[in-house]
């Protein structure tokens, strides 16, 4: 009996210990399972959290400084490359011969067609047009139009952009068009009629006389594009520490020979002022001047193509208008001068309000930024205020020159300017 009991006890014991080990085993499995689930869940959350943070950080970097900050090293690289490479040594010779020589045109055509960044090259009788498609806003264009020595500059720029695309996977945000023309009349302006006007953000010209002058760097053109070019010139001057002799930017608007183009599209013409100094410039200085204009061009194109939102600081506009108004001192015009000043002040207040709105906008929202960019381009066109022959009615440079004209002519100009500014105010207030 005792043996039986002890046997049963032993069995019971062993049974229960078996049972216990099973239970422990199961709960162990469950808790391990639960723990790994928990770990997995936490790890997963951590990972997504990191991914979200990473993406947000990337976005933040992309948007910083109006979308220009994270490519600053590339901008500098472009400008440094332009400084290093000789800008087409024989383009000066070509400047004379580029007059529709079939060889030169097909050579340029070959070079451009060879670049992978360029989507298509179209060869016409008197011009070549190369298109680089924008990655984000391909239906907005920045058009560069060059002839003569400008051709060498544009080719070099296209090559450098191509290299940057290869090495850094960069593509312009908006589309770029390089239009190279030969002859004395700018056939690239014909091209513009193929586009809806509001799709062209800026039309930038380096014509055959751009490097003839030895004076100030000057930009004529529509107000907004003009200030963008001047801002770019300031950046170039700062980065490369050019002195005032090489790059002088105190744009005195009095004796400028170039005026606005007969166009109703935002534009700028870049050149050095021909102040008729007859000193013999050496070859080296001339080369540097060419590099400088190439750098300003590159920086302007980059900013127009890459910035998320175009913002206009009207300081230069105000300054020019202010100087022009100062030059009016005939007694019989004072009353009208007052009127123009009041309209100008009102316009500047409206621009300030617009800029405050731009500062508040969330620039992730591409639709909002596009609407504002289009508004600025509209504003630039309205401020150009072309007449039936596309001559701008608001060109202060022309106003300076007309200062000796009879009273009624000047009065007519003043009234036209007031009307144009009132239209601009209307556009801004309709927002
Ligand atoms: C086109 O590119 C190839 C290879 O990149 C090069 O060998 C050739 O010389 C280029 N042609 C022209 C016309 O630049
Ligand atoms: C403009 O040019 C004229 C001569 O063409 C000169 O007499 C005058 O001083 C110049 N004005 C300025 C502001 O440079
Ligand atoms: C430059 O000066 C010369 C005389 O020295 C004169 O004949 C010429 O018309 C001037 N050019 C300009 C653009 O003022
Ligand atoms: C416009 O320029 C004048 C003269 O430089 C200055 O007094 C005025 O404050 C400027 N206005 C604005 C809105 O910047």
Looking at residue 287, its pLDDT comes to 85
26 CB under 6 A from ligand 4? no
Same domain, 253 and 383: no
Residues 284 and 349 in one domain: no
> What local confidence, expressed as pLDDT, does residue 178 receive?
95
Q: Is the pLDDT of residue 293 over 90?
A: yes
Task: Residue 420: give the domain boundaries.
Answer: 314-430
Which of the four pLDDT bands, split at 50, 70 and 90, describes residue 307? very high
Is residue 16 over pLDDT 60? no
Residue 4 falls inside a structural domain:
no
Same domain? For 193 and 288 the reply is yes
Highest mean pLDDT range out of 62-76, 175-189, 207-221, 348-362? Answer: 348-362
20: tokens are 């216990």
3-class DSSP assignment, residue 121: strand
Residue 368, number of CB atoms within 10 A of its CB? 15
Residues 200 and 150 occupy one common structural domain: yes
The residues pairing with 204 across neighbouring beta strands, listed in sequence order, are 144, 268
Asked, for residue 281, whether it belongs to a domain, the answer is: yes
Question: Domain check: are 259 and 327 in the same one?
Answer: no
pLDDT at residue 113 tops 90: yes
Domain endpoint, select from 285, 306, 327: 306
> How many domains, the chain?
2
Torsion angle defined by CA atoms of residues 194, 200, 202 and 204, in that order, rounded to the nearest 10 degrees = -20
Residues 213, 331 within the same domain: no
The Cα–Cα gap between 400 and 397 comes to 5
For the segment 136-147, the average pLDDT, to the nearest whole number, is 94
Q: What would the mean pLDDT of 243-255 be, rounded to a whole number?
A: 75
Q: Do strands 267-272 and 217-221 pair parallel, antiparallel, or not at all (unpaired)?
A: antiparallel
User: Which of 398, 396, 394 is closest to 383 using CA atoms?
Assistant: 394
Q: How far is the CA of 288 from the centre of ligand 2 (A)?
A: 27
115 and 227 belong to one structural domain:
yes
* 185 and 95 within one domain: yes
Within-domain flag for 14 = no
User: Residue 50: its pLDDT value, please?
Assistant: 85
Residues 254 and 337 in one domain: no
Looking at 306, 333, 366, which one is the last position of a domain?
306
Q: How many CB atoms lie within 10 A of CB 280?
A: 6
Q: Is residue 337 part of a domain?
A: yes
* pLDDT band of 258, cuts 50, 70, 90: confident
Look at residue 343 and tell me whether its pLDDT is greater than 60.
yes
List the CATH number of the domain containing 110: 3.40.630.10
Backbone conformation region of residue 142, classed left if phi is above 0, alpha if psi is from -120 to 50, else beta: beta
Name every protein residue with a CB atom under 6 angstroms from any ligand 3 atom.
274, 276
20 or 21, which is more confident? 21
| pLDDT exceeds 60 at position 330 | yes
- For residue 24, tell me if it sits in a domain: no
Q: Which residue has the higher pLDDT, 184 or 115?
A: 115
Domain boundary among 271, 306, 341: 306
- The ligand minimizing its distance to the Cα of 255 is 2
Predicted confidence (pLDDT) at residue 204 exceeds the cutoff of 70: yes
CATH, residue 342: 1.20.930
The reply to whether ligand 2 has any atom less than 6 angstroms from the CB of 254 is yes
Q: What is the mean pLDDT of residues 212-240?
A: 92
Give 405-418 pLDDT, tens digit per residue: 888 888 999 999 99
For residues 250-265, average pLDDT: 76
How many H-runs (helices) and E-runs (strands) does the chain carry?
13, 7
Q: Looking at the domain assignment, is residue 11 inside a domain?
A: no
How sure is the predictor about 341, in pLDDT bands with cuts at 50, 70 and 90?
Answer: very high
From 9-13, 359-363, 379-383, the region with the lowest mean pLDDT: 9-13
Asked whether the predicted pLDDT for residue 99 surpasses 80, the reply is: no
63-92 average pLDDT score: 82
Q: Are residue 80 and residue 101 in the same domain, yes or no?
A: yes
Residue 12 maps to a domain: no
What percentage of the chain carries pLDDT values higher than 90? Answer: 48
72-84 helix and 283-306 helix, angle to the nearest 10 degrees: 160
Phi-psi region of 65 (alpha: psi -120 to 50; beta: other; left: phi over 0): left
184 and 290 both lie in a single domain: yes
Mean pLDDT of 250-263: 74
Site to substitute for ligand 1 among 112, 114, 159, most atoms within 8 A of C-beta = 114
For the beta carbon of residue 74, count every other beta carbon within 10 angstroms: 16
């Amino acid at each position: 009996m005792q043996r039986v009991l002890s046997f049963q006890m032993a069995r019971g014991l062993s049974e229960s210990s078996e049972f216990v080990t099973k239970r422990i085993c199961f709960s162990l499995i469950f808790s391990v399972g639960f723990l790994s689930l928990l770990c997995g869940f936490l790890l997963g959350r951590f990972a997504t959290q990191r991914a979200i943070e990473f993406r947000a950080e990337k976005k933040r970097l992309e948007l910083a400084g109006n979308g220009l900050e994270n490519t600053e090293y590339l901008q500098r690289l472009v400008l440094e490359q332009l400084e290093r490479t000789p800008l087409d040594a024989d383009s000066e010779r070509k400047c004379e011969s580029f007059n529709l020589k079939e060889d030169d045109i097909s050579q340029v055509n070959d070079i451009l067609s060879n670049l992978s960044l360029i989507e298509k090259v179209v060869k016409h009788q008197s011009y070549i047009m190369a298109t680089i498609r924008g990655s984000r806003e391909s239906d907005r264009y920045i058009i560069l139009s060059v002839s003569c020595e400008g051709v060498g500059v544009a080719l070099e720029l296209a090559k450098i952009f191509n290299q940057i695309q290869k090495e850094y996977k960069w593509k312009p945000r908006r589309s770029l068009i390089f239009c190279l023309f030969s002859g004395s009349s700018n056939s690239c302006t014909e091209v513009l009629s193929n586009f809806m006007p509001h799709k062209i953000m800026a039309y930038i010209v380096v014509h055959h006389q751009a490097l003839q002058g030895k004076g100030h760097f000057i930009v004529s053109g529509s107000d907004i594009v003009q200030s963008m070019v001047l801002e770019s010139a300031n950046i170039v001057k700062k980065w490369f520490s050019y002195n005032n002799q090489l790059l002088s930017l105190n744009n005195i608007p009095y004796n400028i020979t170039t005026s606005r183009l007969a166009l109703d599209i935002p534009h700028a013409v870049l050149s050095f002022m021909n102040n008729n100094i007859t000193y013999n410039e050496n070859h080296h200085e001339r080369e540097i001047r060419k590099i400088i204009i190439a750098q300003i061009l590159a920086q302007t194109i980059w900013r127009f193509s890459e910035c998320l939102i175009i913002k206009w600081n009207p300081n230069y506009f105000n300054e020019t208008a202010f100087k022009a108004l100062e030059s009016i001192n005939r007694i019989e015009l004072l009353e009208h001068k007052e009127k123009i000043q009041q309209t100008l002040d009102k316009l500047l207040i409206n621009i300030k309000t617009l800029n405050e709105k731009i500062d508040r906008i969330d620039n992730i929202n591409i639709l909002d930024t596009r609407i504002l960019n289009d508004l600025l381009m509209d504003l630039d066109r309205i401020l150009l205020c072309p007449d039936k022959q596309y001559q701008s009615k608001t060109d202060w440079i022309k106003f300076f020159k007309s200062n000796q004209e009879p009273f009624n002519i000047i009065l007519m100009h003043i009234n036209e300017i007031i009307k144009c500014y009132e239209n601009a105010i209307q556009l801004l207030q309709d927002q």
